[in-house]
Structure 1
């Protein structure tokens, strides 16, 4: 392929994001061409560098491997490298149009840029002397996942011994990793199914057939009509055949094709309805869920007598849960829940990305509850028992011994008296071992609680602490933490009962905490006017680390705003002694939320009094360097952090529901994490020195208004957003 002209923009487009992606990714020359319009305006010119003479001088065909659509795959000998490779070319029986050739080259170039261990590598792309395109790739051995599932469905015992659920799940995770990687490059596969996954003889896994894949940036440009089921009454497809050729009749150019294709039975509801603007990365999540469903049940999730029937079932979500489809296979409920969540009819109910689905599968593999299960306390307890089988086995053994001893004792007390004594001694020994095992586990839960407390996950921290104390009631530091936790909840009587040791368990002494609990005992809860004084006493009692939890519970409880917000303002002054004049304003927001203005306070570094407060809109422009993790992401929609010392977007990861974000004049340089906010409609990034405009801005599908500095007036990404209809405001900052 020819290098871009000198007058083209040579700036690398980077996708660097430590939070969402595994590493920094730099777009290659080929990817730049795929993003730029001149590829479509002068298609023939882009082929000049692909002329490679007569391929017969380098390759000799040995056998045909496969064919479908307009493409045929041959196994050929590569004389230069002395190896066998696979060659894809347009079938001799097909008369290739210019669009067909563009489509063929588009697939080759797109796949060539997806360099991942589980994506088939492309070796060469060229045109022969007659201008016919071809590309070579790795020649695969082994069999497809679809063929393996068919053998398992036919009860082939050799396959059932070789391909256990554990091994198939490992294969599926490799597929997920490949698709997660492709998504970081902006590529959606759109035709994921078991027959497009090859498993080699030595365990290597390859995701095949990227012919329907497209860049997400092209979905907004599709100008075909949505699919009509009425037009499909006479459509008949072979097993596994896609709808692509049928749908291509409404498309004008290659990048506008294949975006609503797919394979009935695996394609998502938004594909089935044929509306490209609804297609997103979660479309692939749905198809991964369908693949996992078939791995678990040996059946395609959606089947029907006609294509129209299958598509209608897809849109309705009309398919049985895996456990009901194949009850004889004893499918783990957690994996069934993961498949069902991934295949939710509404994309908002699916996993937000493939990485989240991978994390849930890893949780299942490690013996923990998955998000898809909506786990209850019983679920967590059951899994805890499974993770500590030795202790549970000892308890069961002990109970069995007791039953045996009692039975023998009642039958012959005199003859078995010695046996009973020996058994009780053994029982005591085993109980001591069980107690020691539980005591070893308990500190781990205490460590987990402390980490959750630092991350302001207060509910989870309390559950972890209670579990640790249940395993080891003699954990002195644990009871001290429990007492301090009750102080933060203003349960002073209960806190005094524990901190003083009146509850009957050993506790590490903290005289200052005991005195504070005793002083306020019987005064629960403290009136708003006395909250600042309580904060002073928390600080003098060395309980300052508990202030965020204190306000979390205060702000989550019902309160009178006329007295509560003045108490918050006084507390902010108390916690920020360098403040001379505090600007603090509040107003009623939407629902039960609030609009808070703390702007213009450059010395404001501690915003603990806002922890747990239901805030709709927060104006924090020009404040100091507070810990932004204190802000709750439940209802916060508008956030102004202009002219602050914010340096990284990942500090706001918990605020995924933001619709308006103003970060002008901050220290942010990289906008790659902007995809964390899918609902973002208004963004101000003006006045930021050294800012790199990220390609991820194009993926913000809800963006309507963007404010940038004049320096970016001619930036290609900004121009692309403007063509899409985003209002661009250029600032002199």
Structure 2
């Protein structure tokens, strides 16, 4: 048997995995990215003559379960028409049975890459607010993301912010026009994510419910109830916790030890407080992070909107709800907010004093 090089094997594998788009209006251009569930290809819509992103399950052998999950992901995104959520253009099935869906091609950088540039704190906070707006919109439609992290937020070339990868989304509202197929969710096989702690699928009962004890998400940004697999306890405050962790990351991107500190300590509240205390950031924003990442979800912000509102208050020089200022801090914040007017008054008084002594007889 002739020996095959690694490069040749990789090429043969890519050929086998490449989707056959002959029966569609799309023309395959190149492989764009790969994840635990499927591969994203750069493709061309031959009718509209535009480039799009086409996502398809890796191989036909795993098509059944993952195709159901991918179809569900497409349906979730299709119900969330928001500038901060990538729109789905089309969905279909390949001759080998694999489901694919087509979405807008996003050109930009992931948030964890984008913040490597020298960004001022207000710019980072504005990006965070836009992400909160998209998440709040999803919550208003009864959808939890459950896998919020910097890697799943894209910043476009024109400053647009988009929340990506809704593959682990959970539908809460009963009237949502989405089929909840969570029993089909499988291990994403990503090094930064937890695999399921109970791999046996139920033989009886409702097949559209995730089993208790199933852990889905990225550990560093998962709330305590999500880590414990308490599916019935998940609500919008679960995503608020992840947003708080993202905010902590944005406050000091070079000190990415917050997530790791949480992973190495089973006591979420203790490790979170310890890690936040080490961040160099305004006390008000650290208090916002602490509240968003409270171990008890009842102590967190009620919504992503409330979290974003506190960040907006900080940007506007106002007090935030999560931090009790002392009199000196109130005075200093007031001086910083009106520093220009205070400077004008001081200059005016100085000129009056100089004129008084100059024309003094």
TM-score of the pair, normalised by structure 2: 0.80
Residue 89 of structure 1 is matched in structure 2 by: 56
Residue 619 of structure 1 is matched in structure 2 by: none
Residue 72 of structure 1 is matched in structure 2 by: 39
In structure 2, list runs of 5 or more residues that go unmatched. Answer: 1-19, 175-179
Q: Is the 8 A contact 2:258 2:276 kept in 1?
A: no
Distance in 2 between the 1:186 and 1:251 partners? 25
1:206-228, Cα deviation, whole Å (9 max, x unpaired): 1000001111258xx9999xxxx
Residue 194 of structure 1 is matched in structure 2 by: 150
2:327 is the counterpart of 1:370: no
Residue 122 of structure 2 is matched in structure 1 by: 166
The structure having more radius of gyration, on CA atoms, is: 1
Distance in 1 between the 2:45 and 2:36 partners? 25
Distance in 1 between the 2:236 and 2:208 partners? 20
Residues 374/87 of structure 1: CA separation in 2 closer, same or farther (3 Å cut) = same
Residues 94/325 of structure 1: CA separation in 2 closer, same or farther (3 Å cut) = farther
Residues 238/111 of structure 1: CA separation in 2 closer, same or farther (3 Å cut) = closer
2:300 is the counterpart of 1:350: yes
Q: Is the 8 A contact 1:334 1:364 kept in 2?
A: yes
SS of the residue aligned with 1:303? helix
Residue 3 of structure 2 is matched in structure 1 by: none
2:141 is the counterpart of 1:175: no
Residues 420/120 of structure 1: CA separation in 2 closer, same or farther (3 Å cut) = closer
Residues 364/312 of structure 1: CA separation in 2 closer, same or farther (3 Å cut) = same
Runs of 4+ in 1 over 6 A off after TM superposition: 221-224, 398-402
2:263 is the counterpart of 1:310: yes
Residue 411 of structure 1 is matched in structure 2 by: none
Distance in 1 between the 2:359 and 2:259 partners? 59
Distance in 2 between the 1:340 and 1:148 partners? 24
Q: Is the 8 A contact 1:76 1:85 kept in 2?
A: yes
Q: Aligned residues, how many? A: 325
1:282-320, Cα deviation, whole Å (9 max, x unpaired): 00000000001000111152205xxxx717446344135
SS of the residue aligned with 2:196? helix
Distance in 2 between the 1:145 and 1:279 partners? 25
Offset at residue 88 of structure 1 (A) = 0.8
Distance in 1 between the 2:229 and 2:276 partners? 30
Offset at residue 264 of structure 1 (A) = 1.4
Residue 301 of structure 1 is matched in structure 2 by: 258
2:350 is the counterpart of 1:422: no
Residue 702 of structure 1 is matched in structure 2 by: none
Offset at residue 251 of structure 1 (A) = 4.8
Offset at residue 93 of structure 1 (A) = 6.5
1:502-533, Cα deviation, whole Å (9 max, x unpaired): xxxxxxxxxxxxxxxxxxxxxxxxxxxxxxxx
Q: Is the 8 A contact 2:60 2:98 kept in 1?
A: no
1:577-632, Cα deviation, whole Å (9 max, x unpaired): xxxxxxxxxxxxxxxxxxxxxxxxxxxxxxxxxxxxxxxxxxxxxxxxxxxxxxxx
Distance in 1 between the 2:208 and 2:36 partners? 15
1:24-58, Cα deviation, whole Å (9 max, x unpaired): xxxxxxxxxxxxxxxxxxxxxxxxxxxxx965441
2:111 is the counterpart of 1:145: yes
The equivalent position to 1:105 in structure 2, one of 66, 71, 78, is 71
Higher relative contact order (CA 8 A, sep 6+): 2
2:227 is the counterpart of 1:272: yes
Q: Is the 8 A contact 2:182 2:208 kept in 1?
A: no
Offset at residue 60 of structure 1 (A) = 1.6
Distance in 2 between the 1:110 and 1:259 partners? 21
Residues 326/274 of structure 1: CA separation in 2 closer, same or farther (3 Å cut) = same
TM-score of the pair, normalised by structure 1: 0.41
SS of the residue aligned with 2:302? coil
Residues 105/68 of structure 1: CA separation in 2 closer, same or farther (3 Å cut) = same
The equivalent position to 2:193 in structure 1, one of 242, 252, 260, is 242
Residue 211 of structure 1 is matched in structure 2 by: 167
Q: How does 1:603-622 map to 2 (within 5 A)?
A: none
2:282 is the counterpart of 1:292: no
**How large is the RMSD of aligned CA atoms in angstroms?**
3.2
Residues 357/423 of structure 1: CA separation in 2 closer, same or farther (3 Å cut) = farther
Offset at residue 72 of structure 1 (A) = 0.9
SS of the residue aligned with 2:59? coil
